[in-house]
Chains A and B, each alone.
Chain A
Amino acid sequence: MREEALRTILAQLNATSADIQASAVISTDGLMMAALLPQGLDQDRMGAMSAALLSLGSRVARELDRGVPEQVLVKGDNGYVLMLQAGNDAVLTVLASTQAKLGLIFLDAKRAAVSMAQVL
């Protein structure tokens, strides 16, 4: 039930832009809760790494007095990885292409994270 609701939110998020290639919601201890990912991605590893990276980003933000962290963004040659807190206990991870308009992606991802927090 909850997983289905989360998958619906992920599907809506992925539909907002052709540049969003995949998305997933993961518990803060690294367990995959729902995902719309391309085949070949190791969901377990992605879950653990997403949670770890958001944890590290949060720690950095706190240590360097940047306040409550909103997101962590990784830019690579092949695109972006965006991680946002979805409520207290989950992480929304979004994979986007290099052509992605980040402002729109941030906005849509944040909306999705708020919706997920309500489900969770």
Chain B
Amino acid sequence: MTGQRAVDVAALIDGIIASLVPAALPQADDHDTLARNRQWLLGLEDEIITLFYDSLYAHSATAALFQDGERAAREQTLRGWWQRTVGAPVDLAYFRWMSLVGIVHIKRRVTNPMMLSMLPIVSERVVTRARADLGEAEAQRLQQVFSRLSTTIGAIISEAYTMGFVGALEDLAGLDPKLTARMLDLEVQRIERESRAQLS
């Protein structure tokens, strides 16, 4: 019977990256664009952090996740994320770190829709500011960079969330992943049938 399994973050991220269509991943040009604009992007830190948490606190569903007085601590964490995201090469080590965000989101009850809805808000602000500061051509390049980066980050965080969620249940119940897959197959058939009936 199955006991607790060791978490293999590297294998998890390798699997997610391998399943992404390659054109959706950050490209060589994207790394150049990020490197060329590194100082400018780092200079957006205060604005991005304020925008991010103003947006979350302005929405009741996300505001409800925060405890009183924790905004400063959360902002500090996001500063670390921003500095790492735009301040150093976006590589495998970075993506592995992103998987941790998905796991932390389970603990904090941050759902994938909440997480995914923040990615375009950040990207759009970067592009808007780039148009004003760097010109249209560079703004378009940054738009492409942030589009691919957001897709990859969103895929990793959401998949790590799902895998972490299912993995926790499997470990607690001692379930073999093959058995979990089988139970999912059986239940998804029923869910699909009932969903179709409700939507028809």
Residues of chain A whose beta carbon lies under 8 Å from any beta carbon of chain B: 28-31, 44-45, 47-48, 51-52, 54-56, 58-59, 62, 69, 85
Interchain CA distance A59-B173 in the complex, whole Å? 6
How many A-B contacts if CB must be within 8 Å?
Answer: 49
Nearest-Cβ distance from residue A35 to partner chain B, whole angstroms: 16
Q: Are A29 and B2 in contact (CB under 8 A)?
A: no
Nearest-Cβ distance from residue A47 to partner chain B, whole angstroms: 8
Q: Are A55 and B176 in contact (CB under 8 A)?
A: yes
Q: Are B179 and A30 in contact (CB under 8 A)?
A: yes
Nearest-Cβ distance from residue B126 to partner chain A, whole angstroms: 47
Interchain Cβ contacts under 8 Å between A and B, 18 examples: A28-B1, A29-B182, A30-B179, A30-B182, A44-B186, A51-B179, A52-B179, A52-B183, A55-B173, A55-B176, A56-B173, A56-B174, A58-B174, A59-B3, A59-B172, A59-B173, A62-B1, A69-B1
Residues of chain B whose beta carbon lies under 8 Å from any beta carbon of chain A: 1-3, 172-176, 178-179, 182-183, 186
Q: Please report whether the interface of chain A is mostly helix, strand, loop or mixed according to DSSP.
A: helix
Q: Are A62 and B3 in contact (CB under 8 A)?
A: yes
Interchain CA distance A54-B176 in the complex, whole Å? 11
**Ordered nearest first, which 9 A-B pairs have the shortest CB separation?**
A59-B174, A29-B178, A58-B1, A30-B182, A55-B174, A29-B179, A56-B173, A30-B179, A48-B183
Q: A28-B1, A62-B3 are in contact. Are A55 and B186 (CB under 8 A)?
A: no
